Amino acid sequence: MEFIQIGGAWAFLGLAAILALYMLKRRFEEHEVPSTYLWRRMLADQNANRPFQKLRKNLLMVLQLAVVALLALALMHPATKGLTGGDYVLIFDTSLSVRADGRMEQAKECALRMVDEMAAGSSVTVITAGNEVETPLSRSEDSVRVKQTISSVRAGYAGAALDRAVSLAQAMAREIDGLNIVVFSDDYEAPEGIRTVNAERGAENRAILSVKLARRAEANEAVVVVANYGEACDVTLEIEADGALWDVHTVSLEKEQTLGVPFTLPDDVQTVHARIRQSDALAEDNEAWGVPQDARSHVVAYAGDKNVFLETAIGLREDVELVKTDFEGLASAKAEMYVSVQNGLTVLSRTGVTSITAGEEKLAANGSLVVSERETLMDGVSVDGVAVRSYRPLTGGRTLLSLNGDALISADDDSVVFGFDLHNTNFPLRLGFPVLMRNLLSEMLEETTLATDGLKAGDTLRFSAASESRAEAVDPDGVRMTLPCVLKKPGLYTLSQTAKDDVRETRFVVGLNAAELDVREAAPSANAGAGNAQRAAGRDYVRLLVCLALAVSMVEWWVSRRGY
């Protein structure tokens, strides 16, 4: 509430005038009396008419004072603050940190009040800035719909792309004259000309940053990393192993300390859930999960002629298990890569087949071997001093190595083919061969695996599957997502990988970004008068006050006529 014409307060002098009249006015009434017995009552009336005596109760006086007060208030033009009509962009920070201490609810309440103050015809655009920038409402003049959209805004679990959201709003401002931009956040510093409504109040917080599991010969162990964003305190940690309470431990944290707390776990534990018992400003970081990080073994199936050089090069990868079989067993083997050696050709394939074909054997003529520099598979591969006795020219795919225009090594999307017998060349004895095999194994095996360690809410889980492979992730709520997908919330996920008839499931943990967990700092609101929004009367109360004054005047007239 504000008074636009504060000078109208002079009208309150009328109250003093009415009081003075009632205090000074002498009132006489004629009475015929049969005796002087009533003289004493008459003397009492004279005393009451003396100036500056306490006023007796008088209904007419009260009503007249009320009329003057209402008219004086009307002259002062009372109104609630409001905004002129125009275009508004309301940007909401939906990062994890605005979940702390009711900040999101405060921001929405402030935005709803702002909508109430807007004049009729104002258009509102709502932009949410979380891990991605979204526009759930664009230039709507329907205040009911605007309020519903604002009320439906929810904070996420990642960071906030506020700069991108503001850039979008500024691009709109270049097309819309007089656009007013308001950012609702907790610690955002807006550029000049943009109003910010920040939380303005920080809070202490404690968080579990991670839960790491290790399998050891003597015992399984979990290390729970706890961070204290505040003063020294005691924190009680509860540990659940495979869904059952296993251990409870209270630790003392110094001011702003990060501490790793070890726990001994039962044998063959598959899932650990750690939780902070005490409540604080941000509940979402008071729990975390951990799963064993066992080394993954990649299966490579091998069939055909024995080749010590090739087998040794594959065995240099410690995470590769080489399984030897015959060609009949190769077709039914469940592996991530298939190697076949026969008829002077060596084929490495994800699917067991290749689109590359070989011609008749040729003796190598004089000439230089040429490496395709555009192929990443040949990065770091040197063929200096390499000689080939004979080969079968390859057709199809991309050429990796050639001699006199003939392809000696070629690759397609799922396979690599050597068009010469590795026993008929000195290539395996040169440094370039193990480098090439390292590149090939990395390419072939990476396509069916992915790193899940250290993932945070808001990260994108990517997976480039082979032609006959697919993968999907299951979030903590049981929702299945086809990769690539955005990991929207923290918790325990399951990755399902399917290749041919082989289905492999791997559990992994998604944590929180530590930058969002320290909520002690909160910037004050700034640029409150920025933009093109001008203050005006949002709700005018002059008419209401005048009507009330007239109503009270009618009551005063009626009371006067009744002789009260």
Q: Number of C-alpha atoms within 13 angstroms, CB side, residue 284?
A: 25
CA-to-CA separations, 453 to 193, 307, 493, in angstroms, rounded: 43, 36, 12
Judge whether 482 and 469 are in contact, CB under 8 Å: no
pLDDT band at 352 (very low <50, low <70, confident <90, very high): confident
- Which of helix, strand or coil describes residue 203? coil
pLDDT in tens, 311-345: 888 888 777 888 998 888 887 888 888 999 999 89
Let me know how long the chain is.
564
CB atoms within 10 A of CB 109: 13
Q: Which residues pair with 259 in a beta bridge?
A: 226
List the beta strands (DSSP E) in 26-117. 78-83, 87-93
pLDDT in tens, 451-465: 566 889 999 987 655
H or E segment to which residue 416 belongs:
strand 415-418
The encoded tokens of residue 500 equal: 């041919």
Using the predicted structure, report yes or no on whether residue 200 has a pLDDT greater than 50. Answer: yes
The encoded tokens of residue 439 equal: 């590149």
Rounded to whole angstroms, how far apart are CA atoms 456 and 509?
A: 9
Rounded to whole angstroms, how far apart are CA atoms 29 and 14?
A: 27
Rounded to whole angstroms, how far apart are CA atoms 159 and 513?
A: 8
Using the predicted structure, report yes or no on whether residue 89 has a pLDDT greater than 80. Answer: yes
Rounded to whole angstroms, how far apart are CA atoms 459 and 214?
A: 25
Rounded to whole angstroms, how far apart are CA atoms 373 and 381?
A: 10
**pLDDT at position 204, please?**
93
Judge whether 322 and 311 are in contact, CB under 8 Å: yes
Higher pLDDT, 366 or 252: 252
Q: Which residues pair with 122 in a beta bridge?
A: none
Rounded to whole angstroms, how far apart are CA atoms 261 and 271?
A: 17
Rounded to whole angstroms, how far apart are CA atoms 303 and 324?
A: 6
Rounded to whole angstroms, how far apart are CA atoms 459 and 234?
A: 32
**pLDDT at position 516, please?**
92
